[in-house]
């Protein structure tokens, strides 16, 4: 399979080049040259298959020819040794829990699968690959932990000072080895811009083998399609239309769902839900795409003012907004609504939502009100313990952290302070 750039369909590269480059040279995002169909009869039997078995069949459609079956199988078993259960919350509402990986957020799926592929290709390079990643919290931890001690790789995490939770910060600043954290005096959008500038800087690209691990890397997109298929397989017996609400920031997770749908997964609708950073719901409504600086919220992993995967969404729909709006229902929610949902669900069911999952929950409720009964699945993208302060304050009770999170909390933070000027980042990188 070859991959093209969203800026130029004639530009086609191998899987290896797409994964190692991250962003295409023309700044487009890589897309598979064709979207494979799920093998015939696959969905009928998928209910008996594990997430890992589904992952193998789906990933193989994209990588066979570049990665042999044994390597793929070992990449999957190493990257995804955890489950993604579907939990019933109330009538017609289910949580797809994506936080059972080592850093307790759904980004473990993309980051660990990508680390497997990239580590495989890096070994063939004979040169250290430097992975730059801008994070609003969860990406940095998932990528840093996914790449920790992977031979031939070095990870540089850029994060906005004071804008990630303490436990998130600990997950990528305490690791050492091949992981370095840069604490940037700016916003997440600044971090993302710095990374983009690094890729087009001739001095840096000449002296370093740079790549990105942001949701722009196609190796992160592919594995995020696995759990939609797995969840569908568990709920199809209900004989209801299946709807997924995806709490979104850069829209990588939602784009992966669209990919699964285009592979043949019968999804009735995706709910594109955001916090007040509502650039995409606004586009679905009005046709105007108006990126702007992000606003800080309690669901901070979704504080994105210029969603990077929007280019892929447009590409999947050939820039046809009406076609996109037929598959997507957009909605956005304030922090107050999010907190009310967390309190309400906890009071009625005992289920503890994290602020991101709560936005997804609100999206499903809104869909059910608007369109009637469905098997409504919202993606619970992080463990509530990752956002402990907000959750405890909102629910007015303390919550128990899982052991894995406690271990991170006990580590010692080590980070390098950095301004939001590209010149400073460049100087730093030329010295690593
Ligand atoms: C990254 C993240 C999101 C947003 O995912 P996108 O793919 O960027 O849309 C939502 N929730 C959590 C917890 C996240 O870490």
From first to last of its 432 residues, what are the pLDDT tens digits of the chain? 999 999 999 989 999 999 998 888 898 999 999 999 999 899 999 999 999 999 999 999 999 999 999 999 999 999 999 999 999 999 999 999 999 999 999 999 999 999 999 999 988 888 899 999 998 777 889 999 999 998 889 999 999 999 888 888 999 999 999 999 999 999 988 998 999 899 889 999 899 999 887 768 999 999 999 999 999 999 999 999 999 999 999 999 999 999 999 999 999 999 999 999 999 999 999 999 999 999 999 998 899 999 999 999 999 999 999 999 999 999 999 999 999 999 999 999 999 999 999 999 999 999 999 999 999 999 999 999 989 999 999 999 999 999 988 998 899 999 999 999 999 999 999 987
CA-closest residue to ligand 1 atom 8: 250
Q: How far apart are CA 344 and CA 346, in angstroms?
A: 5
Probe target for ligand 1 pocket from 253, 254, 271, 277, with the most ligand atoms within 8 Å of CB = 253
Q: How far apart are CA 123 and CA 152, in angstroms?
A: 6
Indicate which atom in ligand 1 lies nearest the CA of residue 252.
7
Query: How many A from CA of 381 to the centre of ligand 1?
Result: 7
Q: Is the CB of 356 under 6 A from ligand 1?
A: yes
Output the pTM of the full model: 0.92
Q: Is the CB of 251 under 6 A from ligand 1?
A: yes
Q: Is the CB of 301 under 6 A from ligand 1?
A: yes
Helix axes 51-63, 69-79, angle to 10 degrees: 140
Query: How many A from CA of 421 to the centre of ligand 1?
Result: 26
Q: Is the CB of 248 under 6 A from ligand 1?
A: yes
Asked whether the beta carbons of 430 and 207 are under 8 A apart, the reply is yes
Asked whether the beta carbons of 212 and 192 are under 8 A apart, the reply is no
Indicate which atom in ligand 1 lies nearest the CA of residue 107.
15
Asked whether the beta carbons of 23 and 196 are under 8 A apart, the reply is yes
**Tokens 């009625």 correspond to what residue?**
348
Query: How many A from CA of 249 to the centre of ligand 1?
Result: 6
Asked whether the beta carbons of 405 and 174 are under 8 A apart, the reply is no
Q: Is the CB of 28 under 6 A from ligand 1?
A: no
- Which pLDDT does position 409 carry in this prediction? 87
Topology given in CATH for the domain delimited by 83-105+220-399: Rossmann fold (3.40.50)
- Which pLDDT does position 283 carry in this prediction? 98
Query: How many A from CA of 65 to the centre of ligand 1?
Result: 31
Q: Is the CB of 253 under 6 A from ligand 1?
A: yes
- Every domain of the chain and the residues it spans: 83-105+220-399
Asked whether the beta carbons of 277 and 304 are under 8 A apart, the reply is yes
Q: Is the CB of 380 under 6 A from ligand 1?
A: no
Q: Is the CB of 384 under 6 A from ligand 1?
A: no
Q: How far apart are CA 171 and CA 383, in angstroms?
A: 14
Q: Is the CB of 297 under 6 A from ligand 1?
A: no
Residue of 214, 177, 283, 225 lying closest to 63 (CA atoms): 225
Q: Is the CB of 313 under 6 A from ligand 1?
A: no
Asked whether the beta carbons of 332 and 276 are under 8 A apart, the reply is yes
Indicate which atom in ligand 1 lies nearest the CA of residue 386.
13
Q: How far apart are CA 432 and CA 206, in angstroms?
A: 14
Rounded to 5°, angle at Cα 52 from 267 and 260: 25
- Which pLDDT does position 126 carry in this prediction? 82
Looking only at the bridges linking them, the beta strands covering 93-97 and 30-32 are unpaired
Query: How many A from CA of 142 to the centre of ligand 1?
Result: 12
Query: How many A from CA of 293 to the centre of ligand 1?
Result: 17
Phi/psi at 245 (5° precision): -105, 125
- Which pLDDT does position 432 carry in this prediction? 78
- Which pLDDT does position 215 carry in this prediction? 67
Indicate which atom in ligand 1 lies nearest the CA of residue 248.
9
Indicate which atom in ligand 1 lies nearest the CA of residue 249.
9
Looking only at the bridges linking them, the beta strands covering 269-274 and 242-247 are parallel
Rounded to 5°, angle at Cα 185 from 135 and 140: 15
Query: How many A from CA of 302 to the centre of ligand 1?
Result: 6
Query: How many A from CA of 281 to the centre of ligand 1?
Result: 16
């Amino acid at each position: 399979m070859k991959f093209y750039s969203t800026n130029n369909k004639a530009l086609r590269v191998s899987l290896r080049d797409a994964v190692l480059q991250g962003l295409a040279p023309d700044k487009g995002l890589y897309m598979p040259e064709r979207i494979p169909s799920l093998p015939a009869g696959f969905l009928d039997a998928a209910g008996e298959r594990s997430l890992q078995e589904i992952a193998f069949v789906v990933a193989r459609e994209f990588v066979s020819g570049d990665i042999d079956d044994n390597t793929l199988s070992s990449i999957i078993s190493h990257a995804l040794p955890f489950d993604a259960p579907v939990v019933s919350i109330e009538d017609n509402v289910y949580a797809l829990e994506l936080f059972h990986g080592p850093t307790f957020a759904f980004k473990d799926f993309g980051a660990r699968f990508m680390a497997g592929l990239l580590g495989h290709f890096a070994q063939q390079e004979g040169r250290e690959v430097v992975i730059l990643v801008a994070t609003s919290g969860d990406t940095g931890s998932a990528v840093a932990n996914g790449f920790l001690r992977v031979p031939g790789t070095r990870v540089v995490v850029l994060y906005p000072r004071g804008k990630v939770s303490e436990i998130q910060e600990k997950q990528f600043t305490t690791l050492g080895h091949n992981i370095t954290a840069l604490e940037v005096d700016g916003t997440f959008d600044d971090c993302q811009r710095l990374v983009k500038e690094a890729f087009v800087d001739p001095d840096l690209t000449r002296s370093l083998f740079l790549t990105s691990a942001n949701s722009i890397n196609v190796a992160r997109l592919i594995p995020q399609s696995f759990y939609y298929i797995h969840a569908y397989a568990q709920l199809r017996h209900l004989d209801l239309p299946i709807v997924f609400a995806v709490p979104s920031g850069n829209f990588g997770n939602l784009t992966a769902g669209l990919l699964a749908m285009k592979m043949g997964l019968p999804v009735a609708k995706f709910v594109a839900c955001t916090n007040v950073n509502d650039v995409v719901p606004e586009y679905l409504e009005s046709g105007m795409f108006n990126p702007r600086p992000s606003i800080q919220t309690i669901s901070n992993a979704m504080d994105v003012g210029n969603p990077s995967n929007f280019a892929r969404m447009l590409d999947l729909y050939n820039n046809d907004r009406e076609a996109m709006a037929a598959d997507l229902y957009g909605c956005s929610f304030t922090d107050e609504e999010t907190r009310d949902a967390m309190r309400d669900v906890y009071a009625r069911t005992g289920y503890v939502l994290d602020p991101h999952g709560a936005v997804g929950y609100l999206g499903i409720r809104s869909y059910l009100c608007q369109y009637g009964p469905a098997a409504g699945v919202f993606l619970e993208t992080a463990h509530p313990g990752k956002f402990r302060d907000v959750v405890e304050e909102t629910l007015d009770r303390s919550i128990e952290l899982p052991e894995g999170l406690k271990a991170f909390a006990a580590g010692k933070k080590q980070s390098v302070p950095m301004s939001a000027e590209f010149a400073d980042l460049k100087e730093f990188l030329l010295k690593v």
